[in-house]
Structure 1
Amino acid sequence: MKALYDEDYDEGAAPAVHFENVGVRYGMGPEVLRDLTFSIEPNSFQFLTGPSGAGKTTLLRLILLSVKPTRGLISLFGEDVSRISKDELTNVRRRMGVVFQDFRLLDHLTTYENVALPLRVQGKEESSYRAEVVELLRWVGLGDRMHMLPPVLSGGEKQRAAIARALIVRPDLLLADEPTGNVDPSLARRLLRLFIELNRLGTSVVIATHDFSLMDQLDVRRLVLGDGRLHIDE
């Protein structure tokens, strides 16, 4: 699946994600996901959907390497994750941005500081990124909340801050778990345009959602989970 804007698409590049016969179970129970075989190509855009409890979050966590598969092969950016070192895994994770349902903002940092944190961790000087962080916060509707701490933000505002934090590093792969679940339809469309623009700049985007009105706005591939298996709707 190519990008929405595919002028820089490289047909020879390794997939951002490749699963081969992947299964996962918790404890001694049955597999909650099984026989997952699919690829997410560089610069592509897709929705991950399925009924509540189908395993969308588990699949995202498999990609993030926070859940280990029971069986099968997972490759990220052409690297078999079972064979690379801890340092290499850290580098792979840094190429991914993620928006969690529980936001994971740091309560002692302002909205601005939370969004800028990935750049600070990379050792960048504030003068090199301040304008970009401020612009992104304004785009997601938080321009007047950038000096607030997370405990005083609403759920929707926290969600937008988490989205901005994931986008600020322009990751090679963005995973977003219900990123528009706590915002109104108008802002949801605005955030979708932001994801489209990030994809245009070269990021592979995976948005997990059950919002059909959101998905119907784009003619892109859908990864549909049901009964532990994955169906691909091109």
Structure 2
Amino acid sequence: MAERRVAAIAPSRTELSLVRFENVGLRYGLGPEILRDLNFQIPAHSFQFLTGPSGAGKTSLLRLLFLSHRPTRGLVNLFGHDISQLGKDEIADLRKRIGIVLQDFRLLDHMTTYENVALPFRVMGRSESSYRKEVIDLLRWVGLGERMDALPPILSGGEKQRAAIARAVISRPQLLLADEPTGSVDPTLGRRLLRLFIELNKSGTAVIIATHDIGLMDQYEARRLVLHQGRLHVYE
């Protein structure tokens, strides 16, 4: 096992929690609940790993946090808002404050790598002159400096993953959700990407990284959220 605490994670602070789940359950259609009785909070500025066996519901929990799924029951409070009381436009506004990296990447095939990563700024209505250097610098940092003009269909899986990560972090969201973000890259680049998440956390973003990699988690002093048989256990 790797030695613990080889890198410092910014400690949780005492500010109001960004996320609060109370007795939350989720099922698809008429099937059984795949998540049940979830009770936890995500403090502002915190860093945590989300883990558990395959099929435990990690991706489903991330989708609940991103508001792309509604819970079957229970309370989800995000950024101080009870999401059951919000309309479609209000939900869309809250999602702009969240960065997400899913395993299907969600890159737009008709846009270049540069354009995909710059998309959050375009949605905000910012001029390209105000963000171009920032986007280029980040693409170089994640090893895509030579692929800025490439379209997603010709990128490798690892390149798509790095582009998706760059797009998720470029606008410094209040909450970052990442599903197996180092799964398609070599260990050296994986550690580099983790440093990116750590620096983002130090600048104020709450980070949740879903991973199966116990060795990776053992290198960092961070809170762990463990899903098992549909329930969540929190280890500080």
TM-score of the aligned structures, taking structure 2 as reference length? 0.94
1:101 to partner: Cα distance: 0.3
1:64 pairs with 63, 66, 69, which one? 66
1:5 to partner: Cα distance: 3.0
2:197 pairs with 195, 198, 215, which one? 195
Letter of the structure 2 residue corresponding to residue 186 of structure 1: T
1:132 to partner: Cα distance: 0.3
Q: Does 1:102 align with 2:101?
A: no
Corresponding residue for residue 93 of structure 1? 95
Corresponding residue for residue 113 of structure 2? 111
1:177, 1:116 → 2: CA distance?
A: 21
- Deviation sequence 1:105-146 (CA, Å, 0-9, x none): 111111001100110111100100000000100111101111
Letter of the structure 2 residue corresponding to residue 174 of structure 1: L
1:41 pairs with 40, 43, 50, which one? 43
Corresponding residue for residue 218 of structure 1? 220
Counterparts of residues 80-229 of structure 1 (less than 5 Å): 80-229=82-231
Corresponding residue for residue 9 of structure 2? 4
Letter of the structure 2 residue corresponding to residue 79 of structure 1: H
2:196, 2:51 → 1: CA distance?
A: 20
Question: Unpaired runs of 5+ in structure 2?
Answer: 1-7
1:213, 1:144 → 2: CA distance?
A: 31
1:16 aligned counterpart, secondary structure: strand
1:196 aligned counterpart, secondary structure: helix
1:191, 1:137 → 2: CA distance?
A: 12
Corresponding residue for residue 74 of structure 1? 76
Say which is worse superposed, 192-201 or 76-85, in terms of deviation.
76-85
2:153, 2:87 → 1: CA distance?
A: 38
Letter of the structure 1 residue corresponding to residue 126 of structure 2: K
CA contact (8 A) 2:10 2:47 kept: no
Corresponding residue for residue 5 of structure 2? none
Corresponding residue for residue 22 of structure 1? 24
Question: Unpaired runs of 5+ in structure 1?
Answer: none
1:232, 1:66 → 2: CA distance?
A: 23
Give the count of matched residue pairs.
Answer: 229
1:87 to partner: Cα distance: 2.7
